[in-house]
Each structure stands twice: as structure tokens, then as C-alpha cells.
Amino acid sequence: MRQFFATENQEAISFGSTARAGLRPHSDIALTGAHFVASSLLPTRWGKFVAHGIADKLGKEHLVLTLGEISDGEPVLTRIHSECLTGDALFSLRCDCGIQLRTALQNIGDLGRGALLYLRQEGRGIGLHNKLRAYGLQDLGLDTVDANLQLGFAADARDYSICKPMLEHIGVSRLRLMTNNPAKVTAMNDLGFEVVERVVMPASRNPHNEAYLDTKERRMGHVFGEDEG
């Protein structure tokens, strides 16, 4: 049976049996201020994912990666990951973002089922260039929280409301959430999703991020595994 899917401009695209891989038809999520753009297969070293493009009301381009059957009502291993160009793509040792992204994809691949939401809110919501400004202040001795405050931003300016239409689009309502940040659990609960488990992620401490991770634990409420301090 062939199944058709629509992109943003409503062009019908036949993906045939790839529907079983998780490609989903256009869903009317525009009422929430977001809209689905397109889906495609995305083969990676961790498995053949499906990439779903979601744009928010400001035009930011967010991404959901899914693997396996996830709309069956069972809890889904999920990572909500905010963009970090320096850590995700440039392998910076100043943070734990890159290792958490790769670990999440590995965990999903090993299980054969899961979802990763990639949110375009660099630098805890302040943007790439402001993150570099914050890094400069940290080089002078401020911690990650005080650096943001010194620049006139909140300690954490991220907004997780976009997760609601993203998760609704892929048919997921119950999460096994991969995070060391209890605030994400609270945010998902507030949006109406059930977090049945918080799965601890590696922090991968090194001399360049030790103070940063200590600040996240001491001032931002992050909870690390026993081996991460």
C-alpha cells in the first residue's frame, strides 16, 4: 500500500513503504503557532532515522529525529536537545552538549526506538554570538550563570513550548526523558506529557568544563549520575 505525505507547500510525495519507518503525513499544528514542513529518511551511524522539520511562529527551524514505532502509546526514549554549535559540531570541551547528543542517538539506536527533539535555541536561548560573549566573561572569572546575567539575559532563557506540537506531530505522549535537568521534566509535565522515567546522561567531565558542570549542579539544579559528581 502506497501512502502519501505532504510538504509545506502541499506537494504530494509518495514514500511507499517508508511510512513504516515513521514518516508521518502533514499534521495541522499551525494552530499552535508551529507547522510541519517536510520529512525524510536520515541514515546515521546509529541507525536509519526519520527527520521531521517543524517551523515555529518566528520561523526558527526545529528538527525531530525518530526511530522505530513510537506512536503505540508506550513510553518513548526521548532526548530534548537545545542546539549547541560549539559542542555538537565543533566538539568543544567547554560543555557537555556534544557527548549528550551522541549518547542520546546511541541509546536510541541501541534500543531501536526513540525520538530526539533538536531545538534551535543556541546558548540556553541567547544565541551563538551572545554565547561567545558569555564565554569571554567566563574566561575572566564569571561562572555560566553570572555571565548570562551580566549580559542582561536570564540564567536559562530556553522555551520548551515548541516541544508540544513536535511531540504531538509524532504521536508521543509518554516519555522516558534523557536529561540531567529536572527543569525539563517539569516543563514536559506542564505541557501535558507524562515523564515516566528520567534517564541520567553522561556529563563527561574534563578540566575545561569542570567549573561549568559544578555551576549547573550548584546553581541550576542539575542532577548528575554518581560517577559524574
Tell me which fold the domain 4-121+160-207 belongs to.
Rossmann fold (3.40.50)
Arithmetic mean of pLDDT, 201-226? 88
Residues annotated as catalytic are 156, 158
Number of Cβ within a 10 Å radius of residue 115? 27
Amino acid at 125: G
pTM over 0.95: no
Q: Does residue 206 surpass a pLDDT of 70? A: yes
Span 113-165, pLDDT tens digits: 999 999 999 999 999 999 999 999 999 999 999 999 999 999 999 999 999 99
List, as one string, the DSSP characters of the chain: ---EEE-TT--EEE-GGGGGGT-------GGGT-EEEEEEEEEETTEEEEEEEEE-TT--EEEEEEES---SSS-EEEEEEE--IIIIIS--SSSSHHHHHHHHHHHHHHHT-EEEEEE--HHHHT-HHHHHHHHHHHHTT--HHHHHHHTT--S-----TTHHHHHHHTT--EEEEE-S-HHHHHHHHHTT-EEEEEEP------TTTHHHHHHHHHHS-----GGG-
Number of Cβ within a 10 Å radius of residue 51? 18
Span 51-83, pLDDT tens digits: 999 999 988 999 999 999 998 999 999 999 999
| Residue corresponding to grid cell 509518495 | 14
11 pLDDT band (50/70/90 cuts)? very low
Cell of 219: 546553581
Q: What is the Cα 105 distance to its own chain's centre?
A: 11
Tell me if 108 sits within 8 A of 145, measured CB to CB.
Answer: no
Cell of 21: 519507518
Tell me if 199 sits within 8 A of 176, measured CB to CB.
Answer: yes
